[in-house]
Structure 1
Amino acid sequence: MNRRNALKLGASALAGLYVSPIWGQYKICNAAIRANGPFEPSWDSLEKYIVPDWFRDAKFGMWAHWGPQCEPEAGDWYGRGMYEEGSWQYKYHVEKYGHPSKFGFKDIIKVWKADNWNPEALVNLYKDAGAKYFMAMANHHDNLDLYDSKYQPNWNSTKLGPEKDIIAGWEKAARKAGLPFAVSVHAAHAWNWFDTSQGADKNGALAGVPYDGKLTKADGKGTWWEGLAPQELYAQNHPLSENPSGNSSVHSQWNWGDGASLPSQEYIEKFYNRTVDLIDKYNPDMVYFDDTALPFWPISDAGLRIAAYLYNKSLQKHKTVQTVVTGKILDEQQRKAMVWDVERGQSNSIEPLPWQTDTCIGNWHYDRGVYNRKHYKSAKTVIHTLIDVVSKNGNLMLNIPVRGDGTIDELEREIVTEIGVWMTLNGKSIYGTRPWKIFGEGPQQESAGALTAQGFNEGKGKPYTAADIRFAQKDKILYATVMDWPENGRAVIKSLGKSSPYYTKKIRQISLVSTGEKLKFKQHADALEVYFPAAKPKASYASALEIIS
């Protein structure tokens, strides 16, 4: 029995049994009741999904990938790395907080206060920068729900740390700003991601002393967390995965293969209930899953059930599905059922269906070292990524790392503001566009790296030059963006010559989008020459041209 056929067994509206092959074994799961509607928890049913126009038109979103792991200001996956003996995060943790047998991740949550967080101010800043939708992290692999969570009642941000409903604050700000509201959900992987917390030092004075990952409610007597059950957070009451590679086995096991320790049905159903609770309370317009396809695929249909629930719920409210679900590493059928998300990477061709890339100007969680070294992506790099992605039928979701206290630093603010300058001047060449016959021309694409795993090919190509052009179209207008200012005063676009098979109409007018200035041009047989003004406009590292026939 193959995996897809196994899932079909659970797609019945009668919610019978779901049978999944797990490397020679079979597992029986109860299928939860789904929202009434035509979508069933199977790929064959979900592939009828059509991406809503609001998402296709928006093109540019911004993300607050923010939670307790931002409090130490030591980068991404801190809650895992702090338990990896010898790693820089482990050393940092021991020096700043103490040994992880005494001060674990649960204690990081306690000291995270978010005391300077102003969601309305940040969302308005992002809107001013050109963002057309906003996403907030609802939970990370650290398993803390950042909302008033019915099914994670003790380990959520309303009870610990900030004692605030983070998602409610972000949602209110986004709705007030008139932006579609998205949430990102990562917690399916806590089962294996936190396995380092089961360890102990192999060297030093505390060798052999267990970290806090196996603590239970009974161990809390006399502590600040008395009455709480750490296993509701760490979920480590199970054997470690097989085939570990050094301190980490989680990467190769992201799809629950390669000897991964498989989560219990109780764990899976709790995740399902937490996510449906999130959907019902905050009505997100988009749910981003940091998973291969959907959560727990292919060992469970829980992710399929969530997607079907969300689509049916939206259909009941809007008459058409207006919600978006994203997932990673999708096959051809799965890309019809949801939006393909590429992490830190770009497709190398026009995709037949809308997709999204997600990236960050620094590390996903705030990293003071990136700030100190001034290693953030520039506004120029962000804009070049956006233009390239849009030319290939994609959207860009950009994370601006937030400090533990809820603020962004002045370097980040400068970058966001500069992005806004370009978007204000050139946004009409981005928003609401669709791909042209080809995405572009020029030498940069020849050097672009291939996608690997979730994506991870950004920055592998040569820098863009004035010889690199990216196209998009809207309302019978062709936009050609010259990816750097031509210092010789003219841009040459080979794809728009008179003999080009792509553009056969006579060009009547070309304008610089940022200023509206009409430009002189000559259309030769082999290329179009466009003559640029002597004075550069603001943010001239990418110049959109409006071409009218």
Structure 2
Amino acid sequence: MPAPARAELDDPGKPKSVPGRFQPTVESLRTYQTPEWFRDAKFGIWAHWGPQAVPRQGDWYARFMYVPGHPHYDYHVKTYGHPSEFGYKDLIPLWTADKFDPDALMEKYAAAGAKYFVSMGVHHDNFDLWNSRHHRWNATAMGPKRDIVGAWKTAARRQGLRFGVSEHLGASYCWWYPNHLYDQFWPKLGIGYDGADPRYRDLYHDNRDQPFRNTPDSWYTSNPDYHLKWYKRIRDLVDNYQPDLLYSDGGLPFGAIGRSLLADLYNSSMARSGKLEAVYNSKDSGSGEFHREWAVQDVERGVLKGINPLPWQTDTSNGDWFFNENYSYKTADDVVTMLADIVSKNGNMLLNVVLHADGSLPPESEQLLADLTAWMAVNAQAIHGTRPWKIDGEGPTEAAAGMFKEKVAYTARDIRFTTKGDRLFAITLGQPTGSVAITSLATGNPHEGRSVKRIRLLGHRGAMAFRQTGQALVIDAPATLPTRHASVFEITFA
């Protein structure tokens, strides 16, 4: 069946399209330009958080608890019981978020350098974290019995942060089909999991028709009824919380329906402020529709190669996407050096800082925020409000381009560049000892023909001793550095 026309969205009982400059066509949406606030922000923090944090086993628990042979299934049977008797619906009440203090958390996020904050809106588990008008399975009605999205938004605004929401609902219909299946072995052979119970079909979907294979062509369903359900719920999220940013976990879903939602997002933003302030993140992953002109490209756990002409974003996490007691964590070294590499290439980093199910921070997340706070207190001016230089950097280490390629062992010889006005910042992706040689600033180098006038190490009193030769700009680093993880040299020219 073809996708419903836009006129059908304006039928009684359905959300009304928002009039304005943008129409749900590729040509119209391609006139989008990324707002300056996002280009200046550079660093955001995400709460990728919800009921799937309860088992402490990590991401995609809601799916794999229904897949025999997977560790999540084995853990679930051992801890909670068989999924025909204790399913995901029974896990939701265990997510009480009883230690959730959004104001205290947001204060730490802002101190750590975040300029925008993104709340999970709904994950693939089909559980809405807001006061949902169209779905009874939501956080105000069960679990925390609290408007999680609304609480995050209030806290973000108090700290002066831009606010965003993420939606992973588009893929839920296909992703979650295992909840309808059953064991193919004794002693539960042929006994259906609780997703097959028609009483809960609004949570588990009636999705036997389209299984998910974790390939781009099976990420989004072709079922037009589900397209409309997705549109109504995400429009409800956007209309009621008016986010500055909306993130989809994939390309833009569902053709004309998705383009209608995107046009509504942009037109609503212009109606509120008189200018386009909204950002839409989507992925060039082969699923859905993607045009880098109409959205900010998002790269999951990876980076792009070189300086991208358009702003883009890496989304990553300091641990697993949901709390996982068996998962290793990124250090502040990992995060700072990755951030510098991304910013030098005209990108932003959106970092999930892992939360326990109760809303408290694991020790690793607490330590990361403390380390980022100390580093940003000295070096934030080389990150926020900057733009790329003529090249992104130099050194022996280059991150591989693409998603899921974020493990890189940078050294102090790896340098990334950012600019602000007449100042050039050279960020060493390691702690330098002795001297720092920047070959891109050698005398007569085509990247920068001017002579260096002055060099300052951020956080260090006094100018740096340096010499500019035909081979490199050589800076004598002090024996004691003002910050750990990475050092920033501010360079001004004659």
Instruction: Give secondary structure in 2 for the equivalent of 1:308.
Output: helix
Q: What is the aligned partner in structure 1 of residue 293 from structure 2?
A: 336
Answer whether contact 2:306 2:392 (CA < 8 A) is retained. yes
Q: What one-letter code is carried by the residue in structure 2 that aligns with 1:522?
A: R
Residue identity in the other structure for 1:295: P
Listed as ranges, the matches of 1:224-235 within 5 Å are 230-235=200-205
Shift of 1:412: 1.4
Q: Which amino acid aligns with 1:401?
A: V
Aligned counterpart, 2:64:
81
| Letter matched to residue 542 of structure 1 | A
Alignment of 1:148-547 (within 5 A): 148-152=131-135, 154-217=136-199, 230-241=200-211, 249-256=213-220, 262-292=221-251, 294-296=252-254, 300-329=255-284, 334-370=291-327, 375-445=328-398, 448-451=399-402, 455-459=403-407, 461=408, 463-487=409-433, 489-539=434-484, 541-547=485-491
SS in 1 for 2:249: strand
What letter matches 2:87 in structure 1? G
Letter in 1 for 2:378: L
CA distance in 1, matches of 2:452, 2:79: 64
Letter matched to residue 164 of structure 1? R
CA offsets per residue over residues 73-114 of structure 1, 9 Å max, x none? 110000001001011000100111000000011111122111
Contact 2:432 2:487 in 1 (8 A): no
TM-superposed CA distance for 1:265, in Å, is 2.1
- The amino acid of 2:404's aligned partner reads F
1:467 is displaced (CA, Å) by: 1.4
Cα deviation digits, residues 127-159 of structure 1 (max 9, x gap): 11111111110100000111100111x111111
- The separation in 2 between residues aligned to 1:366 and 1:254, in whole angstroms, is 27
TM-score, normalising length from structure 1? 0.86
Cα separation, partners in 2 of 1:92 and 1:333, compared to 1, 3 Å: closer
Counterparts of 2:281 and 2:475 in 1: how far apart (Å)? 40
Match status 1:95 vs 2:39 = no
Contact 1:402-1:408 at 8 Å conserved across structures:
yes
**Distance in 1 separating the partners of 2:277 and 2:190:** 53
CA drift at 1:254: 4.7
The secondary structure found in structure 2 opposite 1:311 is: helix
Q: 1:49 to 1:240 in 2, by over 3 A?
A: closer
Alignment of 1:128-139 (within 5 A): 128-139=111-122
Flag the 1:104–1:16 CA change in 2: closer, same or farther, 3 A. Answer: closer
Distance 2:468 2:315 in 1: 38
Cα 1:498–1:325, aligned 2, differ >3 Å: closer, same or farther?
A: same
- 2-structure distance, mates of 1:542, 1:191: 44
Amino acid across the alignment from 1:196: P
Distance 1:48 1:216 in 2: 45
Corresponding residue SS for 1:172? helix
Matched residues, number: 487
Paired with 2:422 and 2:452, the residues of 1 have a C-alpha distance of: 12
Matched, 1:125 2:76: no
Tell me by how many angstroms 1:413 deviates.
0.2
In the TM superposition, what is the alpha-carbon distance from 1:240 to its structure 2 partner? 3.8
Counterpart residue type for residue 449 of structure 1: A
* CA 325–471 in structure 1, closer or farther in 2 if over 3 Å, else same: same
Distance 1:100 1:16, change over 3 A: closer
In 1, Cα distance between equivalents of 2:83 and 2:271:
48
Residue 254 of structure 1 contacts residue 291 of structure 1 at CA under 8 Å; is this kept in 2? no
Q: How far does residue 400 in structure 1 lie from its aligned partner after superposition? A: 1.0
Structure 1 residue 333, shift from structure 2 partner: 7.5
SS of structure 1 residue aligned to 2:390: coil
Verify the 8 A CA contact 2:250 2:285 in the aligned structure 1. Answer: no
Q: Tell me, which stretches of 5 or more residues in structure 1 are unaligned?
A: 1-5, 18-30, 218-229, 242-247, 257-261
Partners of 2:442 and 2:192 in 1: CA distance: 70
Question: Structure 2: how far apart are the matches of 1:155 and 1:328?
Answer: 27
Q: Counterparts of 2:164 and 2:314 in 1: how far apart (Å)?
A: 15
3-state SS of paired residue (1:369): coil
1:112 corresponds, among 87, 95, 117, to 95
Q: CA deviation at 1:250?
A: 2.9
Whole-angstrom distance in 2 between the partners of 1:208 and 1:426: 60
Give yes or no for contact 1:272–1:306 (8 Å, CA) kept in 2.
Answer: yes
Work out the CA distance in 1 between the residues paired with 2:290 and 2:350: 23
Match in the other structure for 1:34: 17
**For 2:8 and 2:129, how far apart are their aligned partners in 1?**
33
Give the percent of matched residue pairs that are identical in Structure 1 and Structure 2: 41
Show structure 2 runs of 5+ residues with no match: none
**Cα deviations across residues 490-509 of structure 1 (Å, max 9, x unaligned)?**
00000001120001111110
- Offset at residue 70 of structure 1 (A): 0.6
Q: Could you tell me whether the CA contact under 8 Å between 1:47 and 1:333 is conserved in 2?
A: no
Contact 2:122 2:129 in 1 (8 A): yes
How far apart, CA to CA, are the structure 2 residues paired with 1:32 and 1:10? 14
1:366 deviates by: 0.7
**Contact in 1 for aligned 2:458/2:482 (Cα 8 Å):** no
Amino acid at match of 1:492: A
2:19–2:267 CA contact under 8 A, matched in 1: yes
What amino acid is aligned across from residue 421 of structure 2 in structure 1? D
RMSD across aligned positions (CA): 2.0
